[in-house]
Chains A and B, each alone.
Chain A
């Protein structure tokens, strides 16, 4: 099973309206200082996995944070809204052999800060259920 961020990355790359390309303007776990306009996905702590008598049965509740950085505030809001539309409520899909029951936006979009280079950073958090 991939890290959740890996599969979310594939979902976002497949969204044509977002124009995100992994390694160019879409990143995982580490937000590079360049280019200016980026989308970065972070795996964050979710709820505990389901535990049943069948140890081979897996059902996970991970979370991800997606951070959008942009030199223009309006563009950043536009991108993060598109990401929310693309992911929130997404259900019953299989990505890289992992079944995603549902993806649920739990907070955001919200302003994180303006970084040292005067680029706006917005965040949005998602809870995921998968097996």
Chain B
């Protein structure tokens, strides 16, 4: 799923993360893992029908100008539709639309804390 759907949420978070000069890939992976767990354990959880969307979660790491960068999301081609379908009745208990954006918005500070906590000291 492309993050285009909530560009502002991503932009705000990216801006804050870039301020953490000594951020490490380890910390960023831990933060993404934290968000992924939220999509599985807290409402709105990722909706499940066949399981394809749920299992299309991806995390990809790279370095840009020697700084760690991470991409993550759901790669199913209908992920954006499910994410924005705010009046749909999904089968899985506790699941719902905005299953990624909601957790990013609500855990903004926690994501920054995890990345900061795992930043290099020197």
Contact = CB atoms under 8 A, between A and B. Distances in A.
Contacts of A30: 87
Interface residues of A, number: 22
B117 interface: no
Contacts, number: 46
Nearest to B78: A113
Contact of A47 (B4, B84, B98, B108): B108
B106 interface: yes
Interface stretch (B6-14, B25-33, B47-55, B56-64): B6-14
Contact of A112 (B4, B9, B84, B108): B84
B69 interface: no
Interface string A31-44: 10000000010101
A107 B86 contact: no
B86 A44 contact: yes
Nearest to B106: A48
B8 A107 contact: yes
B97 interface: yes
Nearest to A47: B105
Contact of A45 (B4, B44, B84, B108): B44
Interface of B: 4-9, 44, 81, 84-87, 97-98, 101-102, 105-106, 108
Interface of A: 29-31, 40, 42, 44-48, 63, 65, 67, 104, 106-107, 110, 112-113, 123, 125, 127
